[in-house]
Amino acid sequence: MNTPSNLINRLSPSATLAMSQRSAELKAQGVDVINLSVGEPDFNTPEHIKEAAKQAIDDNFSRYSPVPGYPALRQAIVDKLKNENNLEYTINQISCSNGAKQSVCNVVMALVNEGDEVIVPAPYWVSYPEMVLMANGTPVIVAAGIEQDFKITAEQLEATITDKTKALILCSPSNPTGSVYSREELAALAAVLERHPQVYVIADEIYEHINYVGRHESIAQFAGVRDRVVIINGVSKAYAMTGWRIGFIAGPEWIVKACNKLQGQYTSGPWYHRRLPKPPTVALRSLWRRCARPSSVAATSSYSSAATSPASRSTSLREPSTSSPSAAPTSARSSATRSSRPLLTSPCISSRRAT
């Protein structure tokens, strides 16, 4: 019998990819379609990054890499987290993967047992519940509607946690809504989580630099939950490197080790060379440095202003707010600020140039 495994039968096909394909079909028929499905920026990978990558290829960085990524790359990520997010990590708390999607999936697989519940605030990125199902867990969807700016409240979180709850997947800035949790909102969620020490947080921050609302804040900054937070990030969105497949996690060492164990049997590490022709991988290290702080934003002290974020450089479809909403509590944000951000669209810049 040609029957796939129960795992495959349990999974739904990717709705995002189906929408994307449909949009391509309509475009081929001459229909003017704006594709808001896959999170594809409307600019290209910056030239200096491409040059660094070409150099790395010429330098023969083309062999198997260490499973969590080469130490110099992980050190560059440690530096990024310190410089941009004021968060302290060691390189043993970092693991690089073939895209942030794999990073999320690794963490879910590393944490979730059969029957465990994972809280997923809705609207959500469609892959989250499927990943939980892959791990034999139960996604618990918590609706956060427009009236609450698509963000769950501390009260909702408290009411949803049971003794089976293993994790919360928190995406901020959010795909698909673009909503951004403020520091105060994250503090309130962290206070709830402090009372439930069995609950981990998978903090998906892949849209860190595509932020139309206010300063990016990470729930990892709160000491009471810090040792239960795994940050997900990467270069796909902010630097238009979706095809390069470079993502990472930063979190407790035991979770990172578990992810490395899984990844070691599955895909191995992302692109890198294990024998260095010259001292620590100048090429990829500088590649990451440049990714982490492109020249146009290097002079700013934070990413609170959408006008300085890499994504704002080329967007024509959506105008970032020019005010400084970071100073205002989210609940007090003006309707003008809200209306500058289309609802229920991806925070990434989908456009006619999207591929």
Ligand X SMILES: Cc1ncc(COP(=O)(O)O)c(C=O)c1O
Residues of the shown chain interacting with ligand X in the complex, contacts defined by CB under 6 A? 39, 99-101, 104, 125, 171, 175, 204, 206, 234, 236, 242, 247
Nearer to ligand X, 39 or 139 (CB): 39
Long-range contacts of 274-279 (CB under 8 A, 24+ apart): 274/63, 274/64, 274/65, 274/66, 274/70, 275/63, 277/59, 277/60, 278/59
Shortest CB 353 distance to ligand X, Å: 17
Closest of 118, 120, 160, 122 to residue 135, by C-alpha: 118
Shortest CB 327 distance to ligand X, Å: 26
Nearer to ligand X, 126 or 282 (CB): 126
Shortest CB 345 distance to ligand X, Å: 12
Residue nearest ligand X by beta-carbon distance: 99
Nearer to ligand X, 214 or 234 (CB): 234
Nearer to ligand X, 171 or 311 (CB): 171
Strand partners, 167: 118, 200
Shortest CB 40 distance to ligand X, Å: 8
Shortest CB 255 distance to ligand X, Å: 17
Is residue 329 reached through a cis peptide bond, with omega within 30 degrees of 0 on the bond before it?
Answer: no
Q: Are 221 and 88 in contact (CB under 8 A)?
A: no
Shortest CB 194 distance to ligand X, Å: 25
Q: Using DSSP bridges, classify how beta strands 247-250 and 229-234 pair: parallel, antiparallel or unpaired.
A: antiparallel
Nearer to ligand X, 35 or 175 (CB): 175
- The contacts of residue 183 (CB under 8 Å, 6+ apart) are 215, 217, 221
DSSP assignment string, 104-150: HHHHHHHHPPTT-EEEEEES--THHHHHHHHTT-EEEEEE--GGGTT
Percent composition of the chain: helix, strand, coil (DSSP 3-state, to 5): 40, 10, 50
Nearer to ligand X, 236 or 330 (CB): 236
